[in-house]
Structure 1
Amino acid sequence: MNGPGIQLTLAPELRLFAPPNRRAERVPTTTDGASSIGHVVESAGVPLTEVGRLLVDGHEVPLSYVPREGESVEVLAVDRPQQVTGAPLRFLLDVHLGTLARRLRLLGVDAAYENEDIGDPALATRSAAERRVLLSRDRGLLRRRELFAGAYVYSDNPDEQLRDVLGRFAPALTPWTRCTACNGPLEEADKDSVGDRLEHGTQRSYDVFARCVACDRVYWRGAHHARLERIVVDAVAEFGGGAG
């Protein structure tokens, strides 16, 4: 680029997207004089899914604004909780976020998940077709224009990932109402109706069951229940929702 020079300031939480030599508080940036501020921000490495307000010399501007010589541009992160308009809040997770998908489903959050790598174009197309917020750690995927909406998952730790998504979007939590395997709704099931699919020890030890309406999977409070209960209790305590 060989045009106007501006001062670009990224919010602290956005600087990780920039190259190491451009993570200072204020970075002199040369533009081409025609590109929008949205293009300039993306060129700095920041996915627009992570961008909130844009301020030029203290005044808010749209992504389409073309910066001029000497202006100071401040890029803020998205507000939390982030509002998603145009559809009910639902998520789509890429192949690398399986544990996060299961934990969201455990909490009753609608979280579709691709357990195979179907490719960026197909994921983006599904996000648009089903109007789901795509969650990913792939910055390139989040730059695809056909996305309905997207969000970068900042950690590779499942506990931190869950807190990040719940804090950012504040979805309604209805624990124990969704199948962790397929995302379908759960309904109560009596022992007689599911008995032919249970081991003898399970039939003898448990009386409360649920069944997935979509895939017919059967659930009961087995050996892993205490660990799952801890995830639910902690999430509800911090982010609200009704325990199921």
Structure 2
Amino acid sequence: MNGPEIRVEVAPALRLFVPPARRRGAGVLTTDGVSTLGHVVESLGVPLTEVGALVVDGRTVPVSHVPVAGETVLVRAVERPQRIPGAPLRFLLDVHLGTLARRLRLLGVDAAYESTDIGDPALATRSAAEKRVMLSRDRGLLRRRELWAGAFVYSTSPDDQLRDVLDRFAPELRPWTRCTACNGLLRAATKDEVADQLKGGTHRSYDVFAQCRACGRAYWKGAHHEQLEAIVERALDEFPGPDRAV
């Protein structure tokens, strides 16, 4: 049975989610007259985590709005920087985003990470329990209703992924304050406190150390420090603070 027909225009930034045949401008869509607008948008392939305002005939409506015949719907992307009310800004990343997790931690951003595939239900449950924004490239995961909040990671390049997350959420950056291995907080440590983790050359060559309060891992300015320093400096140059102009 044919239902009401509506016109749907998806923002250019969101058209990658839409089947190719529907990507050009506005298109006529037949609905069932019962489903909510949120369901209709998801049926097009667009995760609601990526949707900002839904505008129907010039007025903003909630995702629970049930479309009626003849309406024109504009599906807008989330505004940037995106604010997530209700808890401090913290992230949870799935098994495929380990490099991004380590780079966020390098910048002092609270980024939990699952190094094994624990499954979408468990990830969504953890997101809700800890009030963390779920970062993933898995559209199915981002559609789970249990999620507290979520965001699609658009690129497969770690550099672009980091830039996208920093641009979208504008987290406070506090480089060199978190453990890149476990996300714990670092503290200054003496050489004696971390001596059991140091090889001979390191013990002789370095005197300044930090140690993770959670897992005990030691840190110093070793062979890869220049590469890490470049990541930090680039992030601070591009994203100097959370209160930047919109």
TM-score range, shorter chain: over 0.9
2:116 equivalent in structure 1: 116
Matched residue SS, 1:112: strand
2:142 and 2:2 mapped to 1: Cα distance? Answer: 28
Deviations 1:213-241 (A, max 9, x none): 00000000000000000000000111115
Q: Offset of 1:193 from its aligned partner?
A: 1.7
Q: Is residue 41 from structure 1 mapped to residue 68 from structure 2 by the alignment?
A: no
User: Which ranges in structure 2 are unaligned for 5 or more consecutive residues?
Assistant: none
- Answer yes or no: is 1:193 the counterpart of 2:202: no
SS state of the match for residue 60, structure 2?
Answer: strand
Match of 1:68 in 2: 68
Deviation at 1:20, TM superposition (A): 1.0
* Residues 1-244 of structure 1: pairs in structure 2 closer than 5 A: 2-241=2-241
Q: Return the alpha-carbon distance in structure 1 between the equivalents of residues 241 and 225 of structure 2.
A: 19
Aligned 8 A contact 1:174 1:241 in 2: no
Q: Distance in 2 between matches of 1:90 and 1:2?
A: 45
For residue 163 of structure 1, what is the amino acid of its counterpart?
A: R
Q: Is the 8 A contact 2:108 2:173 kept in 1?
A: yes
Segments of 4+ moved more than 2 angstroms: none
Instruction: Determine the C-alpha separation between the residues in 1 that align with 2:70 and 2:148.
Output: 34
Give the conservation status (yes or no) of the 8 Å contact 1:142–1:150. yes
Displacement of 1:203 in angstroms is 1.2
| Mapped partners of 1:23, 1:183: distance in 2 | 40
**Superposition RMSD on alpha carbons, in Å?**
1.1
- Provide the rounded CA distance (Å) in 2 between the counterparts of 1:115 and 1:193: 28
- Partner amino acid, structure 1, of 2:37: I
**Which residue type is aligned with residue 229 of structure 2?**
E
Is 2:170–2:241's contact at 8 Å kept on the other side of the alignment?
Answer: no
**CA distance in 2: counterparts of 1:124 and 1:197, whole angstroms:** 36
CA change 1:56–1:90 in 2 (3 A) is same
- Report the count of equivalent residues: 242
Q: Which whole-Å CA distance do the structure 1 matches of 2:49 and 2:2 have between them?
A: 27
Contact 1:137/1:154 (8 A) holds in 2: yes
On the 8 A contact 2:91/2:133 being kept in 1, the answer is yes
SS at match of 2:230: helix
Q: TM-score, normalising length from structure 2?
A: 0.97
1:124 & 1:229 partners in 2: Cα distance?
Answer: 33
- 8 Å Cα contact 2:185-2:214 kept in structure 1: yes
Amino acid across the alignment from 2:121: P
Identity %: 71
Instruction: List gaps (5 residues or longer) in structure 1.
Output: none
> Separation in 2 of the partners of 1:196 and 1:155?
40
- d(CA) in 1 for partners of 2:55 and 2:241? 35
What secondary structure, in the 3-state scheme, does the structure 2 residue paired with 1:41 have?
Answer: helix
- Partners in 1 of 2:162 and 2:129 — Cα distance? 25
CA distance in 1, matches of 2:24, 2:9: 8
Residue 196 (structure 1) shift: 2.7
3-state DSSP of counterpart to 1:9: strand
Normalised by the size of structure 1, how large is the TM-score? 0.97
SS in 2 for 1:101: helix
- Partners of 1:114 and 1:2 in 2: CA distance: 45
**Residues of 2 paired with 1:10 and 1:206: CA distance?**
55
Query: Conserved in 2, the CA contact under 8 Å of 1:54 and 1:63?
Result: yes
SS at match of 1:235: helix
